[in-house]
Amino acid sequence: MGNKLKHLTFTGVSALAVLAVSPALAQPADLEEIIVIGSRFEPRIVTQSPTPIDSISADELTRGGAPDLQSMLKVAVPSFSTPRPAAAGSLDFLTPPTMRGLSTGQLLVLINGKRRHTAPDLNGSSQIGRGDVAYDFNSIPAAAISRVEVLRDGAAAQYGSDAIAGVLNVQLARGTDGFASARFGLTEKGDGEHTEIAVAKGIELGDDGFLRLTVQYQDHNASDRAAPDTRQQYFGRNAAGALVMPSGNYGSGTGLTPSSGTLDPREATVDRDIWKFGDPKYENLSLFLNAEKPLTDGITAYAFGGYSRLKGNSFNFFRRAGQDETVRAIYPDGFLPLQEIEITNGSGAFGLKGDDLAGFGWDLSSAYGGMSAS
């Protein structure tokens, strides 16, 4: 704080010295140029912006080897983060992103400058983004992206309260060139195999327009880093020989016999490799279309949209034999619940834009987005 005060004092003294030497500089009539650092009418490029704007190409995103778009952004974008929840149902695939440590609902995501719709599921888990809704990044093929523009500062004055943390704008690839890629990878433990195939191709619309389609298929197997469950699995008996009733955190670990009773003999033989803790298994098919066609010298028509369907498995926490959540007549040794998740996502946008309407640029468009998770 002391350094800051010294700097401000020096600046003020310097300004007074300049005015003392050149009194004419203080006269408003002698001002030759006024620079406005905030504008709502014209786009700003990175070198002209008073706030940090990152432009990250598709090559930079895929260079890190991450299997999905959200993980790519986590590696490439400063201050962007996303958790890796487990046993969260559909939220295993709709992980809530954050920017600058702020809530998920304060990050705005755009595609080609248009708002992206959010997921229908409210995050009710005790994790990052609780009480907010996330975006379905899995529905956007990385092969369909030209670059991602990231404003790492608040933009609520222009976009609203959902841009307090910043803005992430996904620019789709343009042109008629073709693209094809295939990837395969697995973890050092030999699990989590990831297979991905992507194809993109554009066609000409007349002499100056294009229509580009991208299709991507992903097959991701589960990974597991769970340790053996050493907790007490069955009812014990107290010193009087009665069953010890369970509670939320009942019992001791294996090898620790309660001083006032005994453990069930099955504690010595039960399979304790019963947890699943890691990335879930899923298959994801997604496609995206981007088109643009100039109608006149000053008017251009455009459209873009996509569809995706993800099917995956989410393992919940293991229910021990002594827990109230277990029907012991059916599962005498406990059970591991498995949720089968299906997420479908569809979106579309179309519009007209021009460069000169009474001296202003203009853009008239309509967008639709829908999503279901079950």
DSSP state, 328?
A: T
Tokens of 57: 């190409």
| Residues carrying CATH 2.170.130.10, the chain | 46-226+276-373
Side-chain half-sphere CA neighbours of 211 within 13 A: 8
For domain 46-226+276-373, give the fold.
Ferric Hydroxamate Uptake Protein; Chain A, domain 1 (2.170.130)
Sign (positive/negative) of CA torsion 128, 133, 139, 142?
negative
Share of the chain above pLDDT 90, in %: 32
Separation of alpha carbons 141 and 285, rounded Å: 9
Is pLDDT at 360 greater than 50 in this prediction? Answer: yes
96: amino acid identity, one letter: P
Q: Measure Cα distances from 198 to 171, 211, 219, 288, 354 in Å.
A: 18, 17, 12, 11, 33
The pLDDT tens digits of the residues spanning 210-264 come to 999 999 999 999 998 888 888 888 887 766 666 665 444 444 555 444 545 677 8
Tokens of 85: 């929840």
Averaging pLDDT over each range in 30-39, 75-84, 142-151, which range is the top one?
A: 142-151
Question: What is the pLDDT of the chain when averaged over all its residues?
Answer: 80
Neighbours of 342 (CB within 10 A): 13
Provide the pLDDT for residue 351.
Answer: 95
Provide the pLDDT for residue 77.
Answer: 84
Separation of alpha carbons 231 and 339, rounded Å: 24
Nearest CA-CA partner of 134 in 89, 91, 169: 91
Query: What's the longest Cα–Cα distance across the chain?
Result: 100
The pLDDT tens digits of the residues spanning 7-66 come to 333 333 333 333 344 444 444 556 666 655 444 444 444 556 666 678 888 888 888 788
Nearest CA-CA partner of 112 in 286, 291, 344, 357: 291
Helices (H) and strands (E) in the chain, counts: 4, 16
Provide the pLDDT for residue 12.
Answer: 37
Nearest CA-CA partner of 100 in 167, 41, 50, 48: 167
Is pLDDT at 124 greater than 80 in this prediction? Answer: no
Tokens of 261: 């009773």
Q: Which has the higher per-residue pLDDT, 156 or 3? A: 156
